[in-house]
Amino acid sequence: MKTKVDSQFPLQANDLSIGYSQKGHHSRTVASNLNLKLNQSEFVCLLGPNGVGKSTLIRALAGMDKPLKGNVQIAGSDIRDLTPKERARQISVVLTESLPIGMFSADAIVALGRHPHTNWTGTLSEHDRKRIAEALHAVEGEALAKRQVSELSDGERQKIMIARALAQEASIMLLDEPTAFLDLPRRVELMLTLRDLTRRKGLSILLSTHDLDLALRCADKLWLFGKDNNVIEGIPESLALDGSIETVFGSENLDWDAEHGSFRMHRNPCTSVWIEGKGTALAWTRRALARIGYGLADSRENSQFIVTISGDPQNLEWIATDHDLGHHFNSIESLVTWMQKPNNGEDNRPDPHYSPAK
C-alpha cells in the first residue's frame, strides 16, 4: 500500500520563526528564518542540544503551535488553510507525552488513527479494519493487539503509537523523541522499522532524537539544530566531514573523531603509548588506554610506553614495555588494572597524569 503524495515537497517550511508568545509579554524566539524541506520517502533525524527547540519545531511543523513568522506547507498548501480533518489526512504526529495508559486495548488505540477517514458516527468499515490490521503488521504488533496498553512496555507502546499513525494513512509522520525511554535493542529496532517504512510505504518521516550514533547510521538526512538558532541540513557523511556535527555538539570536554564518527572525551595526557597488534583486540585496547588517560602516540619513536598484543583471538597476551622492562598479561582487564595503579616505585611505569617539572 503506497501512500499518495503531491508532486511538490510533502513538507516545507518557508522563512519560519518559532518560539513562544504570551499575552501581554514579548514573544521569545527559539529559531528564525528557517527554510526546510522534507522529501518524499525520506527519513530525517532532527538533532541538537537539550533546550534548543527541537520539540517546538516539531509542533510547529505539525500545525500544533502557531509560528511567530513564516508558514508551513503540506503538499503545497499552507497548513493554516487546512481543516483539522484535512491536516490529519496529510500528517500524523507521535509525541512522547501522548502515550496513553488508560484501559484501552492496543488495537483500539490503533483504530483511533482512522478518525480522519470515518463519518460522524465513527463507525469502522471493513476497509478501516483492513488498514488497522496492516498498520499492526507493519510494526510487527499483531501479538499486542488485544493486550491492554497499560500492560505494555515502553517499546511496545511506541510500536502501537506508530501503528496508530500508520492507520491514519498520512504521507508525513513526525515523531518527537520516540526512542527516549527505550533500551538499546529497542531503539535500534524502532529506528530500522521507521527507516523501512519510508522505503516500503513512501512515507516522509522526521523524528527528533538525542541518539547521534543511530542517526548517523540510519538517517537519509540530518537536521542539526545548533546553538545559533539555525538548522543545518545535509546527509550524515557531509555534516561529519565539514565539521557541522562538531560545531553543534562539541565542547571543552569532547573531541569529535571524524574518522570513527563519534565523540571522545577531551584529555591532556602527559604519557603517550604506542600499541602494536591487529584486529578487534587492538581497537579495544586503544579505547581502554585512552579511557584511563593515556595518549595514543602517532609512532613508536614518539611514544613513552609500548604495549604489544600477540597470540590468536582465543589466547591473547599483552606485553607492556617501558625502559626495556616487559610486563605480561593474559587479559585486557589485568593490563588496564596494572596501568591504572599509581607508580609505587616497584616498576618504571610512568603515571599518565604525571607531568615532570620544567
H-run or E-run covering 289: helix 279-291
Is the model's pLDDT at 199 over the cut of 60?
Answer: yes
Interior angle at CA 184, CA 180 and CA 189, nearest 5: 90
pLDDT band of 97, cuts 50, 70, 90: low
Interior angle at CA 247, CA 39 and CA 33, nearest 5: 50
pLDDT (tens digit per residue) in 230-259? 899 999 999 988 889 888 887 666 666 666
pLDDT band of 29, cuts 50, 70, 90: confident
pLDDT (tens digit per residue) in 117-137? 887 777 888 998 999 999 999
The three grid cell numbers given for residue 132, joined into one nine-digit string: 488497522
- Greater model confidence, 99 or 139: 139
Cα–Cα distances (Å) from 233 to 47, 121, 182, 220, 277, in that order, read: 11, 44, 27, 11, 40
Residue 111 makes CB contacts below 8 A (sequence gap 6+) with 124, 128, 132, 167
- Asked if 154 contacts 187 with a C-beta cutoff of 8 angstroms, the reply is no
Instruction: Report the percentage of the chain scoring pLDDT > 70.
Output: 84
Span of 21-30, 39-48, 278-287 with lowest mean pLDDT: 21-30
Q: What residue segments make up the domains of the chain, in order of their start?
A: 11-234, 272-340
pLDDT (tens digit per residue) in 256-304? 666 666 666 656 666 889 999 988 999 999 889 988 888 888 888 888 8
Counting every residue, how long is the chain?
A: 358
Average the pLDDT over 312-319 and give the result.
91
- Asked if 162 contacts 201 with a C-beta cutoff of 8 angstroms, the reply is no
Average the pLDDT over 78-101 and give the result.
84
- Rounded to whole angstroms, the Cα distance separating 304 from 17 reads 54
- Asked if 38 contacts 204 with a C-beta cutoff of 8 angstroms, the reply is yes
| CATH code of domain 11-234 | 3.40.50.300
The mean of the pLDDT values for the chain is: 84
pLDDT band of 330, cuts 50, 70, 90: very high
pLDDT band of 70, cuts 50, 70, 90: very high
pLDDT at residue 356 in the model = 39
Is the model's pLDDT at 7 over the cut of 50?
Answer: no
Is the model's pLDDT at 140 over the cut of 50?
Answer: yes
The pTM of this model reads: 0.77
pLDDT at residue 3 in the model = 44
